[in-house]
Amino acid sequence: MTDNTHKEAQHLHRLILFSDAVFAIAITLLAIEIHPPEHWHGVADLFGQMQHKLMAYAVSFAVVGIYWISHRRTYSRLRKANGVLDILNLAMLGLLALLQLATELLWESGSAAAALVYVGLVTAIGLAHAVAWGYAALLGGLSEPMPAIEKIYVLLRVALLPGLMCG
């Protein structure tokens, strides 16, 4: 392994480690923001009062988990990273970090507007992920050698995943 190849592999490795940390923090923040009601009487009452919070948490936990799995799968197909991919990945992670806010909107208001904000954010995260993969695989030459049709299949999968989740 040449020194340059080692540096490229290290760059990708650090990008993935940083991304994993952001995913872990995002999923942790979802749970930290759940607080029990001040007055409750028994377990059934507790869960009855918290059902909206717990449902929003469960959905958001699944969303973050699915995006983490998708991120892990797509980035495992890369052989190196560069500054453009760093920026595109940061944009996706920045949107992901806002998911806690959108989740809180859902459990506090439960309105159609809050649901629209939530679905819009989930969609934006998926599209940002697709843009990062599209750049890496189709423009940046950062992926492992694979047929173009496979690159496009992965692009469509990560771009369409948000719509399938929101449906």
Query: How many other β-carbons are positioned within 10 Å of the β-carbon of residue 126?
Result: 26
What's the longest Cα–Cα distance across the chain?
Answer: 66
Q: Which residues contact 5 (CB under 8 A, 6 or more apart)?
A: none
Predicted pLDDT of residue 135 = 98
Residue 14 DSSP SS3: helix
Number of residues written out for the chain: 167
Average of pLDDT values for 100-118? 89
* CB 30 within 8 Å of CB 64: yes
Query: How many other β-carbons are positioned within 10 Å of the β-carbon of residue 99?
Result: 22
47: pLDDT confidence band, cut at 50, 70 and 90?
A: confident
Q: Helix-strand-coil percent breakdown of the chain, rounded to 5?
A: 80, 0, 15
Using a pLDDT cut of 90, give the percent of the chain over it: 68
Q: 143 pLDDT exceeds 90?
A: yes
Amino acid at residue number 113: A
Predicted pLDDT of residue 116 = 92
Q: 167 pLDDT exceeds 80?
A: no
Q: 163 pLDDT exceeds 70?
A: no
Straight-line distance from the first to the last Cα atom of the chain, in angstroms, rounded to the nearest whole number: 46
Q: pTM score, two decimals?
A: 0.89
Question: What is the rounded distance in angstroms from the CA atom of residue 47 to the CA atom of residue 52?
Answer: 9
20: pLDDT confidence band, cut at 50, 70 and 90?
A: very high
